[in-house]
Structures are given as structure tokens and as C-alpha cells.
Amino acid sequence: MSYIINPLTNRPIKKGGKTYYRLLEDGILPQDEKDEKPIDKNIICMIKDMEKKDVDKIRKEYNDNNEKYFASVGRGKYSEYLIRRAKKTTKDEFILTLAKKVKEAFLAKLEGDESDDEMDEEGISQLIHDLIILKGKRLTSRSKYIVMD
């Protein structure tokens, strides 16, 4: 990220930062074609002048065609937009994901340990337990959308 001098304060500001874009909007800095503010990837469309039935139609189409996100009317500075939000992970989805990860790790461990061809039942049970604890911690720490019913 490069810095430029703010003409009002003679202090350095980040090019692409909040102050930089405010100075561009106020016309204090000259605007280049490259300097346009990036579009927020969570905005689906502007709904300011749309009728409610049209907004509902767009929302329904988006929700039907998307597995990870759902459409919602924004709040605050996004109140004029239809935005996307992450869907919450259900308990069933979490368990399926956890089981898949544990299975992959278990198979990888068995393929890597050729010296332990005859692993007893308790050893396999302990390995699965350790993998579930390890993978479960990783999944829950990364995802803030776990919903336990």
C-alpha cells in the first residue's frame, strides 16, 4: 500500500484508505480511473427505487441458487442495498463435515503407518477419538456460525 500527502494536513495517508476516499469524494484530490472505490462484494443490488415485490423476487431467486449465502435487506449504510450474508451451519452439517474430515485424516494416518498393520481395537478407537477432538476444535474455532439445537 502506498502513501500520499494529504493536501489539507500535510501528513501521509494510505492510498485506498478511508481518508483518501473522503478527499476524492470532496474533490480535493484529483480522481484517476484506477482510484475508484472498490465495490463491496457483499452487495447484490441497489433496492432504493424498487418495489417490494421485485425485491422479494430477487431475494428468492438468490436464496434458491446459493448454498453458502442468503439475501437480506441491509441495515445502516447498506439500507439501500440487497446484501448477502453467510448462512449459519446447522448441527447436522457440522457433524457431516466433522465426520468427513475425520475419515480423511484416519485413512491418511492408516496409509502412512505401514509398520502398524495390526492395530488393535483400542488403538483405532483412541485414534478416532483424537482425530474427532482435533478436527472438532479446528472447525469450531474457524466457524462462528455453529448452531447447536
pTM: 0.42
Least confident of 24-28, 49-53, 79-83, 102-106: 102-106
- Residue 119's pLDDT band, with cuts at 50, 70 and 90, is low
The pLDDT of residue 145 is 47
Please report, rounded to a whole number, the percentage of residues in the chain having pLDDT higher than 70. Answer: 73
The structural domains of the chain, with segments of one domain joined by +, span 3-35, 43-86, 91-142
Higher-confidence position of 115 and 3 = 3
Summarize the confidence of residues 39-48 as an average pLDDT: 79
Question: How far apart are alpha carbons 90 and 94 in whole angstroms?
Answer: 6
